[in-house]
Structure 1
Amino acid sequence: MASETEALRLVGLLENELIRRRGPIDRHNDYYRGKHPLKFASDEFAKFHGERYADFSDNWVQVVADAPVERLTVTGFQASGEVSADAELWRVWQVNGLDADSQLGFLGSITGARTFVLVWGDPDDPDMPVVTFEDASQCIVGYEPGSRRRRRAALKRWQDGAEDYATLYLPDEVWKFCRPLQRQDKSPQMADVDEELKRWQPRELHTEPNPQPNPMGMVPMVELPNKPMLVEEPISDVSGVVAMQDAINLLWAQLFTASDAASFPQRVIMGAERPTIPKLNTAGEIVGKQAVDLAKFQVDRVAWITGKDARIAEWQAANLAMYTGIIETAVGHLAAQTRTPQHYLISAMSNIGEGTLLAAETGLVKRCDQKILWLGQGLREVARLIALAKGQTALAEKLRSGRVLWADTESRSHAQMADALLKLKQLGFPFEWLALRYGLTPTEVADVIAMREREMEADPVSEITRMMANQPGPPPAPGDVEEEPAEADEEEVDREPVG
């Protein structure tokens, strides 16, 4: 049991680390949403054109981040020693809306380098724990010294209305604190007056104690890192895209500026003074000269040039294709660095065969398989926490070495998939395994099997005949092979008697 002083000390330590992480997380989220400040521009270009392109972005960050998320789909959980997925765990997953929210969590992990899952019991429904994906900007997990898996504490900090809230999760108890929301526009005098209000205070809870016991016996929050490292912080998929995204935006800004000012051949008059017209007073008398508005020449497309040395020079229009070529090269670099298929980024590919398309997506498939490996470790722990929240300690122990079931990360046509599954069926793979490979969830597989059984009961003869036709038969024994008769000798045929 931790004292209030010890709990507040942990809250302070975890909060400071959470604040340190917040900067890159917010920056990468902004880039995903298309909020890109104009970078790499000279001071002169930024001075004259910066405001013009303040809201422009050619957003490739979103494409790179979304590409793997659409292929990361959890279909079930299977405990160690079991031959089928756990139906009750899948019910908890769906009741909590995690078939949709998991996509949000995986996207948060890709952009923010990590995401979190919180599991807690529902006092109104002991059989249905509450499971939520949490954003990396609000949560942090502290580990035991020297360990990357044994969780010592976890903190969730968020704002609601005029209050800051914090919940500290420990293996044996949970503390809840609050404080007034800190305003950023306070004067130094008011900041001194409100210094005392910055301290966390235990929340007043009328329906539950504070702290309250943690019946699960372990920290109920799990971290799902993206590209974890042995020592350093996990890496966001967006962090390596930001620099190239800035370069692409600048190239577009320069292209647009060039197209506005130099996309047509330019002519200049040399050796002549600027044309003037007489300046008249109210009586119509010439009192001086005034320069002709040059914009009038652009409208009228007529100029009167005088002077013995006057001549016209011309320079060619800007080569805008140079900019587009560099942009395509930059996008190609971005595709190679992030293992995103080029047909996701460049729409110039056409008439591509299925085999070529699969080969082009190999890098993305491997990228998704790596994420499944990293995310699967954390999701196994989530399944274990769900079992502990329901009081199923035996199942929780089996889930520690269980596995998470995922949909296939490789996209294939229905014809390719059907052909591959038929060949696997002929090799002897069971129908249930093939149905999972096809992409059905364990619940859908159970429904299909029940339908097959009803069809069997309705017409058993035709069903058995169909199943036997799809099964490969044993090879015939050597003595069972009937030899074909030898061809007749042509000479013997010629000796047939003639009547």
Structure 2
Amino acid sequence: MADEQQLSRALNLVEILEKELVTRCTDIDKYKAYYRGEQPLKFASDEFRKYHGQRYKDFSDNWVQVVADSPVERLTVNGIKPYGDDTSDAESMRVWQANGLDADSQLGFLGAVTSARSYALVWGDPDDEETPVVTFEDASSCIVAYEPGSRRRRRAALRRWQDGDKYMAVLYLPDEVWKFERPVERRTKTEDMAEVDMLLDGWLPRDMGEEPNPQPNPMGVVPVVELLNRPLLVDDPISDVSGVVAMQDAVNLLWAQLFTASDYAAFPQRVVLGAERPMIPILDKQGNVVGEKPLDLEKLAADRIAFITGENAKIAEWTAANLEAYTNVIEVAVGHIAAQTRTPQHYLIGRMANLSADALLAAETGLVKRVEEKQLWYGQALREVFALVALAQGDEEKAKALRSGYMLWADAESRSQAQLADALLKLKQIGFPFQFLAQRYGLTPAEIVDLLAMIERENELDPLGAAARLMGQDSGPADGTPQADGEAAA
């Protein structure tokens, strides 16, 4: 059992880290709500909000989701190659697959894109010592503290979540792991009572039965890794959603105004000019008229009746409103979102008229570079995740090699099959090996191994055909004519 000094230090760390985590959650919850399309109507005038605000409170033209999803759909981990090895590490990918991270990694990447950061946690599994547990965690539930002057050396990490009427917390240190709990905050009426609740409902070590608390950390490092999105040298990382929120609010308001104009002014409108203001009789309890009061003209306006007082009353008419004025501005606003976030216009506008393959690739250049930047930063964190897996398995040398290795990602660029095959054929003709070409084609390391085994079995069944194919690949046409561009050798 830990002494009082250790416990006091651990409790102090939990309180400080939780306070910073709660502060971050304000923006995190906002960005996640915008991703889901829960976007309040903003920038509206007081008059518009008074008469129409509730009508559009549940409406949003959600471009935030498109901006966030567009890079994530191109982030696919194919493997990791340790430093000094010629092939990817099969054991690391076995653990990756066993934890379902081929799917859950997409959730982790989306969390980082939306909330500016997400986390990966690695811990040993007592039921399967060869397969550590790896999970991705949301930015609202985890926080990591680093050593002063470092953005990589982790000193502590906290994971907090709610379980029923209690908050649970796990404090990860390089040498030990603490587990705490406390009741969910109670609503109090006065500041003094709030202080009493804080003292009574503070963090306490969780009763773990026969399991020690704290327990030793066999890996010797904090097992939580932070995936940063668009990090800065001296400031917090930036969410891809943060820069879209203001323009998203403007687009929602423009649509609300367009709907209102369509409802009120899409057809010719009639107006009464010059008539006296209508009066409403005032009745007593017996139903007798005891006076009169003027009709509320604002209510008439809400009921789509324009009543203008004055002499010589007459009826006039104006033509229907031109709604294209709104749609043109909305299209410009969406174009700004595309330019600012490097999201291809055809993802947002949906116009693809007679685009050639080269034009389509050029249109997606910004998105491809954006994805490659995320591969760089997320890959750095994932190398550390795979190193933690090796440490959990007790292999320190492999952990060092994985930290110095590099990630294998699926191609971030989208090409047609014909374009890709033509490019790979040209690379083959100048001497690139088959395994490299198979990787560029998009096959995972496991699929490449299976493909090589299939080729070997095929060659064993037909050795003469294999020799003929090999000779055909190494020589040009028999008549000596030059080979056409992109044409395979006979």
Aligned to 1:48: 51
Between Structure 1 and Structure 2, how many residues are aligned? 454
What pairs up with 1:151-190 in 2 under 5 angstroms?
151-184=154-187
Tell me: CA distance 1:274–1:149, structure 2 relative to 1, closer, same or farther (3 Å).
closer
Structure ID, larger Rg: 1
Q: Does 1:69 align with 2:52?
A: no
2:118 is paired with a residue whose SS is strand
TM alignment of 1:29-428, pairs within 5 A = 29-184=32-187, 191=194, 193-271=196-274, 309=312, 311-428=314-431
Give the deviation of 1:195 after TM superposition: 3.2
Task: Give the secondary-structure state (helix, strand or coil) at the position aligned to 1:218.
Answer: coil
Quick one: percent identity of the two aligned structures?
A: 67
- 1:155-199 Cα offsets, whole Å, 9 max, x none, are 001101111111000001101101111134667676455333321
CA displacement, residues 30-75 of structure 1 (integer Å, 9 cap, x when unaligned):
0000000110011111111111000000000000000000000000
Displacement of 1:468 in angstroms is 2.1
Task: State the partner residue of 1:5.
Answer: 8
Deviation, 1:471, is 2.5
What CA distance in whole angstroms lies between the structure 1 residues aligned with 2:447 and 2:407?
16
Distance 1:403 1:275, change over 3 A: closer
Offset of 1:466 from its aligned partner? 1.2
CA drift at 1:313: 2.3
For 2:10, give the aligned amino acid: A
> Structure 1 residue 124: deviation in Å?
1.4
Alpha-carbon distance between aligned partners in 1 of 2:191 and 2:277, rounded to the nearest angstrom: 60
Per-residue deviation, 1:116: 0.4
Aligned to 2:226, the other structure's residue is in SS state strand
User: Aligned partners of 1:7, 1:386: CA distance in 2, in Å?
Assistant: 26
Q: Comparing 179-188 with 103-112, which one deviates more in the overlay?
A: 179-188
Q: Displacement of 1:269 after TM fit?
A: 3.6
| Shift in alpha-carbon separation, 1:129–1:334, aligned structure 2, 3 A | same
After superposition, the CA RMSD in angstroms is 2.7
Residue identity matched to 1:264: F
Structure 1 residue 262 displacement after superposition: 1.1
Letter matched to residue 373 of structure 2? Q
Gaps of 5+ in 1: 277-290, 292-307, 475-479, 481-499
Contact 1:264 1:316 in 2 (8 A): yes
Letter in 1 for 2:117: R
- Check the 8 A contact 1:180/1:197 in 2, yes or no: no
Contact 1:426 1:472 in 2 (8 A): no
For residues 309 and 380 of structure 1, the distance between their equivalents in structure 2, rounded to whole angstroms, comes to: 83
Structure-2 separation of matches of 1:355 and 1:195:
63
Which secondary structure does the structure 1 equivalent of 2:124 belong to? strand
CA 321–19 in structure 1, closer or farther in 2 if over 3 Å, else same = same
* CA spacing shift, 1:316–1:177, aligned 2, 3 Å: same
Distance in 1, matches of 2:454 and 2:51, equals 70
What secondary structure sits across from 2:43 in the alignment? Answer: coil
Give the residue type in structure 2 aligned to 1:99: D
Match of 2:284 in 1: none
CA deviation after TM superposition for structure 1 residue 266, in Å? 1.7
1:182/1:198 contact within 8 Å kept: yes
Shift of residue 20 of structure 1? 0.9
2:228–2:378 Cα contact (<8 Å) kept: yes
